[in-house]
Amino acid sequence: MKQINVTRSSMPPFEEYVEKIKKLWDTRWLSNCGEYHEQLEKKLEEYLQVPNVSLFSNGHLSLYTAINALDLQGEVITTPFTFVSTTHAIVQNGLTPVFCDIKPNDYTIDADKIEALITDKTSAIVAVHVYGNVCDVEKIEKIAKKHNLKVIYDAAHAFGVKYKGIGIGNFGDISMMSFHATKVFHTIEGGALLYKDHDLKKKLASLRNFGLTSQEECEYTAMNAKMNEFQAAMGLCNLLTIDEDILKRKKAVEIYQRELKNIPGITCWQKQDNVEANYIYFPIVIDEKEYGLSRDQLFELLKSYNINSRKYFYPLVTDFKCYQKYKSYTPIADDLAKKVLTLPLYSDLETADILKICDIIRSKKGV
């Protein structure tokens, strides 16, 4: 039986990538901000319509460095409905996460509940654009200005997303994007920070290179988080087809929405108003009483057909052993984590496979 995975990496033509990396055998410049690294930063600034892009070896180290660069202290308000990396980056910087509940319609942090969590120890808000859904960036900006807080967006899911025609990386102090192989755009592994303050460029360059400011000076205690030339070359190749890939994803999502819209107990992802989406994931929310199966039962049913869906995000961050001590009252996030399932979605997912998945969901019958 054919296996259908929840994600599948987009790849450029083999010959195209080989031609791109062939030059590396001549230059032997494989890391330390080589030609492809510099090219990719510039091309991403253009494509994402942001003033500054700094590349990193992966998304987690990008986010960790963003928090480090802003010299935060004390408490950071964030969401429990995210991948654990978001919280790790906060705690690894010696900060205390304070968890805010999410909105039931788009699963992003509920900006109306943020102010009640602010104390004299609060230094920042780390919000997450979930499944490419955009946070209430306008309300969060007002809160941050009122209380003199920094704002960092975990935009791992939001490559190419625009809000009211503006690239999503223009909001907040810094936004992080992940270029992991499973994302809409990838550099095999990789990540980036997007920001408006040009003065951050030099500091971020140092923080991704052991804190060195020259060959003889080390100003910060930092990590090695540089993107190498093979990663950058993959990014340059994938950037050539990114619009086409997003369009293919959109068509796949439209088929899912058409086929699943009238099934009782199944709520499908819907695009937000004023948002140009990237169609990175297709989550559905299962109401067991109406649908007749729980999320976990549907997960197992699809698995019996060799279809790999994902309970994403589950468990909730605050349910992991290392973060249970920070558990707070987040009933919407708690409930959603038990009901959400992301279905297979990638640019070359075949229509026949989508229809098969939808037929199984509709019939609720095992093999």
218-237 pLDDT, tens digit each:
999 999 999 999 999 999 99
Measure the CA–CA gap between 108 and 81, rounded to whole angstroms: 8
| β-strand pairing of 282-286 with 266-268 | antiparallel
pLDDT of 51 > 90? The answer is yes
Q: Where are the beta strands (DSSP E) in the chain?
A: 52-56, 75-78, 96-99, 122-128, 150-154, 162-163, 166-167, 174-178, 191-195, 212-214, 217-218, 266-268, 275-276, 282-286, 340-343
Measure the CA–CA gap between 37 and 53, rounded to whole angstroms: 11
The CATH class, in words, for 242-363 is: alpha beta
| β-strand pairing of 75-78 with 122-128 | parallel
Bridge partners for 194 per DSSP: 53, 175
**Average pLDDT over every residue of 117-128:** 98
Structure confidence by residue, pLDDT tens digits, 149-160: 999 999 999 999
Measure the CA–CA gap between 124 and 201, rounded to whole angstroms: 20
Sign of CA dihedral 323, 325, 326, 327: positive
Is the Cβ–Cβ distance between 87 and 78 less than 8 Å?
A: yes
In this structure, which topology does domain 14-239 adopt according to CATH? Aspartate Aminotransferase; domain 2 (3.40.640)
335: tokens are 């409930």
pTM: 0.97
**Average pLDDT over every residue of 96-106:** 97
Residue 112 phi, psi (nearest 5): -70, -15
Could you identify the residue written with the tokens 């809409």? 184
pLDDT of 366 > 80? The answer is no
Bridge partners for 225 per DSSP: none
pLDDT of 61 > 90? The answer is yes
- CB proximity list for 209: less than 8 A, separation 6 or greater: 32, 222, 224, 225, 226
Q: Tell me the pLDDT band of 364, cut-offs 50, 70 and 90.
A: confident
Burial code (b: 16+ CB inside 10 Å, e: under 16) for 244-273 equals ebbebbeebbebbeebbeebebbbbbeebe
Question: Which has the closest alpha carbon to 107: 81, 142, 143?
Answer: 81
What pLDDT is attached to residue 14? 97
**Average pLDDT over every residue of 91-95:** 98
Tell me the domain boundaries of the chain: 14-239, 242-363
**Mean pLDDT for the chain overall:** 97
Query: What percentage of residues in the chain have a pLDDT greater than 70?
Result: 100
pLDDT of 367 > 90? The answer is no
Is the Cβ–Cβ distance between 131 and 269 less than 8 Å?
A: yes
